[in-house]
Amino acid sequence: MTTRLERFLAFSADATAFTRFELQGTGQAREYLDTVVRIAGDTIVDRLLDLHLHAKAVAAASGNSAIMEHLLRRDVLSDPRLGPVARNIVKMWFVGIWYELPREWTEAFGAREGDVTFVVSGTAYAEGLLWRAIGANPPGAKAPGYGSWALPPHIPALAAH
């Protein structure tokens, strides 16, 4: 139906509880998608995104949003091949780091070139969602201004899903 980038954003929005608009606003979506495709390969990424879309569609048809969580956990997060990759996408969004895939994964599905722990880029670090989630700024970037730290933290409300 849609481009891979759009499907990636749809999955990422559900996986991070940040809206697509917020995710797009970081400017990082393309870089993260490229990173996961480069390391995990097209097949795995497409499969993961398809299953997410499927879960979403089933939940929408049934009118029961809990079904999506159930399907996502069963088909993606608990899947030995897709789960670690999905979790890496979440971590990438929050921290800006690609974490080396677990050993069990590499043993079962083969080592991938470039699969080491690394900061995806300087901007990835600065755009980590973690900081917004707790009302803070990434150290060394996006300084909130003199004296801002004397006020209570502003923790953004969770978007209704």
Partner 1 sequence: MTADMTHDVVVVGAGVAGSLIARRLTTEGLRVLVLEAGPATPSTFEGYLQHVQTFYAASGKGAESAWPPAIGAPQPDARDLRSDNGYFVQRGPLKYGSTYTRAQGGSTLHWLGVSLRMLPEDFELRSRYGRGRDWPLRYQALEPWYRQAEREIGVAADVADQTHHGIEFADGYDYPMRRIPPSYSDIVLAAAVDGMSVRLGEDEIRLKVRSYPAARNSIPRDGYRPVGAVDIRPDGLGRDLYLGERCAGNTSCTPICPIQAKYNAGKSLARANPAYLTVLARAVASKLHVDPVSGEVRGVEYQRYEDTSSPRHTVHTAHGRIYVLAAHAVENAKLMLASGLGGASGMLGRNLMDHPSIYGWGLAKAPLGPYRGPLSTSGIDDMRGGAFRARHAAFRVDIGNDGWRPTTGAPDTTVVDAVQTRGLYGADLRRYLESTLARQVRFSLNAEQLPSAANRVTIDPRYLDAMGNPRPVISYDIDDYTLAGMAEATRVYREVFSRAGIEDHTDPEHSTWFPEVPYAGGTMRYHGMGHFAGTHGMGNDPESSVVDVDQRSWEHRNLFLVGAGSFPTMGTSNPTLTMAALALRTADRLIAEMGRSSHRQQPYRREQGRSRDLSSGGYTEDRPPEGLGDRL
Of the candidates 157, 90, 94, 159, the one whose C-alpha atom is nearest the C-alpha of residue 125 is 94
Q: Does 22 bind partner 1 (CB under 8 A)?
A: no
Q: Does 10 bind partner 1 (CB under 8 A)?
A: no
Q: Does 110 bind partner 1 (CB under 8 A)?
A: no
Q: How far is the CB of 156 from partner 1 (least distance, A)?
A: 9
Q: How far is the CB of 77 from partner 1 (least distance, A)?
A: 7
Residue 63-92 contact track with partner 1, rule CB under 8 A, x = bound: --------------x--------xx--xx-
Q: Which lies closer to partner 1 via its Cβ, residue 110 or residue 153?
A: 153
* Near partner 1 by CB under 8 A: residue from 9, 15, 39, 44: 15
* Near partner 1 by CB under 8 A: residue from 31, 106, 109, 137: 137
**Helix/strand/coil (H, E, C) string of the chain?**
CCCHHHHHHHHHHHHHCCCHHHHHHCCCHHHHHHHHHHHHCHHHHHHHHHHHHHHHHHHHHHCCCHHHHHHHHHHHHCCCCCHHHHHHHHHHHHHCEECCCCHHHHHHHCCCCCCCCEECCHHHHHCCHHHHHCCCCCCCCCCCCCCHHHCCCCCCCCCCC
In the complex, the residues that contact partner 1 under the rule CB under 8 A are: 14-17, 77, 86-87, 90-91, 94-95, 97, 99, 117-119, 121-122, 125-126, 130-131, 133-137, 139-141, 143-153, 155, 158, 161
